[in-house]
Structure 1
């Protein structure tokens, strides 16, 4: 497995020394959880050469900005994306409780992937982000804050744009933290906001209102958005079978993704 360190020297907005992420003792629901990320990385999953469609996706696992559900919403997703021909990069962004650091990390990750796109036979203008729960929040922030300098330039890689070309949000959290459940203040929708695919369920209090609020803001700004809301499914199901939502969103997302990268 190829690993890319995001930061070669000092990690911006990080006071702790670099070290490997720590796996927690909690493996409930057969999920591997990582925390104490101080040295953010990308783990690279390559499709078969014959399947490579020339597009890349950075996968942002969820975990309430406390942990990363690294297999459920990271590795398993990357392997699925490979079957569709995408080169996938699983992002270990900073947790716990470092939302600015997490935004630094996803912006840097997009720049790195863009700078290395040709090395993976990919198009630097076909780079997406796909996030779950808090990772969906982070992906939404990356898609609406790409014009903001959240850390000081570290090298020539930071000359690349950190704007994703498309965005997929699966049961995204923290999108309606504004007054009276309005759109979260850090999400600034403009005519440059990338196209989005959003999936949620009615019975998911973490994402149901936020998904509607963000979709409405995108429509008002005349930005492309595809929203799907199922009656039930809960939260945190990833791709795992036995849940109707988990079996539905990949089919819908695949169709949308294949259309968006044409």
Structure 2
């Protein structure tokens, strides 16, 4: 699949600058649909790869996938490509996002975290824009474009779902259409208290599907419980799965436990539960 520039016209005075992007190719899991396990770091120029569902099974749903990696790395295949290939078989088109990374230890990097947050947030919204702007040719329903993310990518997906850094967006962003996702899928997400506070003041929050493992000691499951509780109070449609087995980074869950290995199927079932009357496919 072709890797395309996220910002075709370039990023004016891009503050996320590294001398060279780095790539590590690691051994893939036996269950990996792609057979690849690439990890990118020092990403200055964000890109994406599109995985379109075949016309005969496409149901109009599309998802931006944000891989994890602590914002220093992007685990592009384990937490991106593999899920996209699986979703395509379910009729769902995906965009796997390689967003800009934050590495304060790099010799050629001097950027404040607050500025970076606005830039990476812009990358997520631009990815949603790509899907919305190509909806007709990709057989996508404009009201069924969501965002998913693993770990740090889950935090990025939550940023987009809550429109939390709208005041920090760089000046080069000029989105004419709605960039709020229609749903969010958060996979062992990083959840800061700032997100929990923001939800209390936001009026428009999309439905959310969340999963985590009870054994996760990096992004603890109790944060998902807190998030779910706040969504419940606001009467936002949400579903939370916390699996007994599954440490941080379980990706598809296959081989990590019987329960956690079913999370992708549970996500599809949740999408069906969000269906509305007279819809030809899923609706949110």
TM-score bracket, normalised by the shorter chain, equals 0.7 to 0.9
Q: Please name the residue that 1:33 is paired with.
A: 39
Three-state SS of the structure 2 residue aligned to 1:128 is strand
Count of residues paired in the alignment: 254
**How far apart, in 2, do the equivalents of 1:52 and 1:20 lie?**
38
Check the 8 A contact 1:18/1:39 in 2, yes or no: no
Give the RMSD, CA atoms, in angstroms: 2.4
Unaligned runs of 5+ in 2: 30-36, 104-115, 275-281
1:101 to partner: Cα distance: 1.9
Q: Please name the residue that 2:121 is paired with.
A: 103
**How far apart, in 2, do the equivalents of 1:230 and 1:16 lie?**
37
Three-state SS of the structure 2 residue aligned to 1:172 is coil
- Please state if 1:231 is matched with 2:249: no
Q: CA separation of 1:74/1:88 partners in 2, compared to 1, >3 Å: closer, same or farther? A: same
TM-score with structure 2 setting the length: 0.81
Q: Please name the residue that 1:62 is paired with.
A: 68
Q: CA separation of 1:107/1:129 partners in 2, compared to 1, >3 Å: closer, same or farther? A: same
- Please state if 1:116 is matched with 2:134: yes
Instruction: Choose the corresponding residue for 1:168, options 185, 193, 199.
Output: 185
**How far apart, in 1, do the equivalents of 2:165 and 2:16 lie?**
27
Unaligned runs of 5+ in 1: none
1:193 to partner: Cα distance: 0.4
Three-state SS of the structure 2 residue aligned to 1:114 is helix
Residue deviations 1:141-196 (CA, integer Å, cap 9, x gap): 100016825122555xx1111100001011111x1445xxxx55566652310000
Residue deviations 1:50-101 (CA, integer Å, cap 9, x gap): 1111111000000011101111001001001101100110001111243332
Q: Which runs of 4+ in 1 moved over 3 A?
A: 16-21, 28-31, 183-189
Check the 8 A contact 1:146/1:162 in 2, yes or no: no
Instruction: Choose the corresponding residue for 1:248, options 262, 266, 277.
Output: 262
Matches within 5 A, 1:1-262: 1-11=1-11, 14-15=14-15, 21-24=21-24, 27=26, 31-97=37-103, 98-145=116-163, 148-149=166-167, 150-154=169-173, 158-173=175-190, 175-177=191-193, 183-184=195-196, 190-205=202-217, 206-239=219-252, 241-244=254-257, 245-260=259-274, 261-262=282-283
Three-state SS of the structure 1 residue aligned to 2:188 is strand
Check the 8 A contact 1:201/1:229 in 2, yes or no: yes
Three-state SS of the structure 1 residue aligned to 2:78 is helix
Three-state SS of the structure 1 residue aligned to 2:137 is helix
Structure of greater Rg = 2
**How far apart, in 2, do the equivalents of 1:87 and 1:227 lie?**
23
**How far apart, in 1, do the equivalents of 2:98 and 2:65 lie?**
9
Residue deviations 1:1-41 (CA, integer Å, cap 9, x gap): 2443221334267335699842136x367642111111111
**How far apart, in 2, do the equivalents of 1:226 and 1:220 lie?**
13
**How far apart, in 2, do the equivalents of 1:13 and 1:215 lie?**
39
